[in-house]
């Protein structure tokens, strides 16, 4: 999907990925789209494989772990026009444009002093079940969404105008500004299970079909790669 959205280079940090996933990585490395960095975490927390991802008692280590890749990415990809911070389960989808490059061209024209752009988030929770059973593509199945929220927000920024970045924010140089993109222009679609700490995982939901405009290309490309790699 990132390739379809027009991303030129993807940087992935491999923290114990399975062999099947690594075979997919190798395909896109050979294609020139992907760079994979082997990744390990320093230190050891006894009896806590989550390293602080659950519970507040080891927050300093948790903060270090989750921000290290973003800081490294800022250095490695600093020569690109834009950097997008995203997890595998997050897609930034424009409402009108087809690619992120088209979206960013319009946003930058409207905001010439922008250092970067923050986006609201639409959650697609697995607990709500598949909306579609006529496709085997995960992102195309879970089109039921919550309304856009300012929670777990992410960004796309211009590295030449930013000092550094964290998971959910970036520090822009003083002469530039941060732009908050209206949900009717673009949102991050976050596909996941109900986040810990949410008091209500059954808010008012809607059907958002934005992802389906990529369906034909998405399905074809996915099946070609899986067949080539002999994966199901």
DSSP 19-39: HHHHHHHHHHHHHTSEEEEE-
15: in domain: yes
Q: Which residues of the chain have pLDDT under 70?
A: 42-60
Count: domains in the chain: 1
- The pLDDT score that the predictor gives to residue 54 is 53
Looking at every residue in the chain, the average pLDDT score rounds to 90
1: in domain: no
3-class secondary-structure state, position 154: strand
- The pLDDT score that the predictor gives to residue 71 is 93
- The pLDDT score that the predictor gives to residue 202 is 85
- The pLDDT score that the predictor gives to residue 188 is 97
DSSP code of residue 112:
T
Q: What is the pTM of this model?
A: 0.90
Q: What is the pLDDT of residues 209-218, one digit of tens each?
A: 999 999 999 9
94: in domain: yes
CA 229 → CA 10, 11, 30, 207, 224, distances in Å? 20, 21, 13, 33, 9
4: in domain: no
* Whole-number Å distance between alpha carbons of 177 and 112: 9
Identify the CATH number of the domain in which residue 84 sits: 3.90.550
Structural domain for 115, as ranges: 10-228
φ/ψ bin of 132: left (φ > 0), alpha (ψ from -120 to 50), beta (otherwise): beta
């Amino acid at each position: 999907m990132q390739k379809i959205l027009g991303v030129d280079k993807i940087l992935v940090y491999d923290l114990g990925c399975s062999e099947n996933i690594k075979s997919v990585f190798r395909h896109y490395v050979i294609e020139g789209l992907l760079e994979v960095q082997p990744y390990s975490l320093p230190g050891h927390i006894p009896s806590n494989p989550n390293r602080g991802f659950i519970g507040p008692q080891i927050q300093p280590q948790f903060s270090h772990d989750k921000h290290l890749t973003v800081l490294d990415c800022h250095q490695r990809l600093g020569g690109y026009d834009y950097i997008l911070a995203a997890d595998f389960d997050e897609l930034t989808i424009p409402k009108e444009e087809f690619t992120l490059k088209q979206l960013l061209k319009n946003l930058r024209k409207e905001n010439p002093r922008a250092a970067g752009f923050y986006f609201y988030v639409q959650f697609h929770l697995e607990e709500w079940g598949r909306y579609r059973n006529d496709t085997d593509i995960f992102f195309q199945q879970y089109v039921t969404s919550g309304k856009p929220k300012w929670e777990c927000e992410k960004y796309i920024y211009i590295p030449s105008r930013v000092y550094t970045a964290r998971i959910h924010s970036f520090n822009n140089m003083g002469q530039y500004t941060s732009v908050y993109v209206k949900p009717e222009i673009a949102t991050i679609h976050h596909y996941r299970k109900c986040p810990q700490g949410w008091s209500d995982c059954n808010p008012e939901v809607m059907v958002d079909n934005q992802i389906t405009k990529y369906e034909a290309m998405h399905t074809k490309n996915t099946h070609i790669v899986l067949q080539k790699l002999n994966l199901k």
